[in-house]
Amino acid sequence: MAALINPSILSADFVNLERDLQAIATADFAHVDVMDNHFVPNLTLGLPVFERLAKVSPVPLDAHLMIDEPDRWAPAYAEAGAASVTFHAEAATAPVRLARELRRLGARAGVALRPATPVEPFLDLLAEIDMILVMTVEPGFGGQSFIEGTLPKIRRARKAVSESGLDVWIQVDGGISRETIERAADAGANVFVAGSAVYGAQSIPAEIAALRDLAAKHAH
Ligand code: DX5
Ligand code: ZN
């Protein structure tokens, strides 16, 4: 399975988002962190900005909704053109209904899990989703350090996905860099979000390529 690299524009310059999307044109997706200051203690951007990003991005958008009431808000991100919409398991009232709605609207449906949220309740529901996002930091901020204790959850998710024969992606987000990406890939992740590692690099295209190569060496 190929390794996908999704830089997070949380680490971009918010007055130059179009320029900073162009800077990651060699990436697989642009990861867009939507925060509402309720589900997480931070506030980023919402639908009007996302709609404009979708119009100018050279790569498909991967929306990560760290918001309350995703049942109410997530479908609009699919309608705005997100290729993938990920909502948090802890915030959704009816995750399967929401995932079905996102798919009906043409987006991939992702379910995100905070570090202390178990993956097991979703392992019988893999047919209903396209991606599991295993958060490798507590959501809310870029630049935090990778939580090693999330690796067993990635392994259990990969084992269940492999046994199911379904094409469910496993994404990791938080603290991903050249130092940590191999362990996440080895545990079974195939989609890698990196914010500070990519936007803080001397050469953004070289960093994307380096991360992709390291992950691909450990691909399942
Ligand atoms: C954190 C966000 C991440 C963040 C990752 O809540 O979901 O996408 O941008 O940033 P780094 O890669 O710097 O840990
Ligand atoms: Zn994110």
The predicted structure's pLDDT at residue 136: 99
Distance 174 CA to ligand 1 centre (A): 5
Distance 193 CA to ligand 2 centre (A): 7
* Mean residue pLDDT across the chain: 98
The predicted structure's pLDDT at residue 1: 73
Tokens of 123: 């392992």
Give me the number of domains the chain comprises. Answer: 1
| Residues above pLDDT 70, as percent of the chain | 100
Q: Is 13 a catalytic residue?
A: no
Which residue lies with its CA nearest to atom 4 of ligand 1?
142
The closest-lying atom of ligand 1 relative to the alpha carbon of residue 195 is: 12
The predicted structure's pLDDT at residue 108: 98
Q: Ligand 1 pocket test: which of 24, 61, 66, 141 has the largest number of ligand atoms within 8 Å of its C-beta?
A: 141
In this structure, the chain runs to a length of 220
- In 3D space, the residue among 198, 202, 158, 200 whose CA is nearest the CA of residue 28 turns out to be 198
The predicted structure's pLDDT at residue 200: 98
**Domain coverage including residue 162:** 4-217
78-83: list long-range contacts, CB under 8 Å, 24+ apart. Answer: 78/102, 78/105, 78/106, 78/107, 79/105, 80/47, 80/50, 80/51, 80/54, 81/51, 81/54, 81/55, 82/32, 82/50, 82/54, 82/107, 83/29, 83/107, 83/108
**For the CA atoms of 127, 66, 61, 74, what is the dihedral angle to 10 degrees?**
60
Question: Among residues 28, 62, 130, 173, which one is catalytic?
Answer: 173
The reply to whether ligand 1 has any atom less than 6 angstroms from the CB of 7 is: no
* Residue 196 Rama label (left phi>0; alpha psi -120 to 50; beta): alpha
Strand 84-88 with 4-7, pairing: unpaired
Residue 220 confidence (pLDDT) above 90: no
Distance 7 CA to ligand 1 centre (A): 9
Q: Is 62 a catalytic residue?
A: no
- Residues within 5 Å of ion ligand 2 by Cβ? 33, 64, 173
CA angle, 28 as apex, 64 and 178 as ends, to 5°?
A: 85
Give me the CATH number covering residue 196. 3.20.20.70
Convert the pLDDT of each residue in 79-108 to its tens digit. 999 999 999 999 999 999 999 999 999 999
